[in-house]
Amino acid sequence: MSNDINRRDFLERGWKVGIVMIGAAGMWTSWDVLRPLPGSGLGGVVKTIPPSEVTDDTTVYVRTAQTYLTKIEGEIVALWQKCPHLGCRVAWCDSAGEFQCPCHGSRFNRAGEVRSGPSPRGMDRFVVTSTDEGVEVDTGQVIEGLPLGTPESIDEPVRGSGCSDA
Ligand code: FES
C-alpha cells in the first residue's frame, strides 16, 4: 500500500517537474527569438556600420534599422525598407541596380525615388548622423519620399534584368 502511494507521489512529482522543464524550455527558446536586439528598436537612434562600408554603387542592408544605406553624391542616405504603397519590404536588386517591391512591383532607383508601380512616392528616409564609430540612423525621424512623377535626381538607368523578372 505504501509502495502505491510512493509510486503515485513519484509520478505526480515527475509530471510537475516535466511541466516546469517544458515551460522553462519554451520560455528560453521564445526569449531567444523574441528578445529585442541590442541597439534596435524602430523609433530610436540605431548605430550601424562604419561610414567607410557605405559605397556609392550599391546598398547595404541594416536589419536593426530596417534600412538600406547608400551614398548619393558623397552623402550617406538611409532608406526605410517599408514600401510607401502598402508597406511590404522593398528589396535591393543588385543585378538591376534598383529596389523592387515583391508585392505589387513598384521600383525605385538607388536614391529611393519611385520609377514605376503603384507606390505614390519614393522610399522614405531616416535622418542620418555619421561618426567615426558608425553611421547612426534616427528611425524616429522619417522624411517622406518625393511624390510619383518627380524626376530622378541620379542618372543610373536599370542595369539589366534581375530579381523579380527572373
Ligand atoms: S506594397 Fe510595394 S508596391 Fe505595393
Domain boundaries, the chain: 1-35, 45-143
Q: Among 90, 101, 114, 121, say which to mutate for ligand 1: greatest number of ligand atoms within 8 Å of CB.
A: 101
Q: Which residues contact 84 (CB under 8 A, 6 or more apart)?
A: 106, 114, 119, 120, 121, 122, 123, 124, 144, 145
Global pTM value: 0.74
- pLDDT in tens for each of the 166 residues of the chain? 455 678 778 788 888 888 888 888 777 776 655 555 444 467 899 999 999 999 999 999 999 999 999 999 999 999 999 999 999 999 999 999 999 999 999 999 999 999 999 999 999 999 999 988 899 999 999 999 999 999 999 999 999 887 875 4
Query: Which CATH architecture group holds 45-143?
Result: 3-layer Sandwich (2.102)
Q: Among 83, 98, 164, say which to mutate for ligand 1: greatest number of ligand atoms within 8 Å of CB.
A: 83
Q: What is the pLDDT at residue 34?
A: 57
Q: What is the pLDDT at residue 130?
A: 93
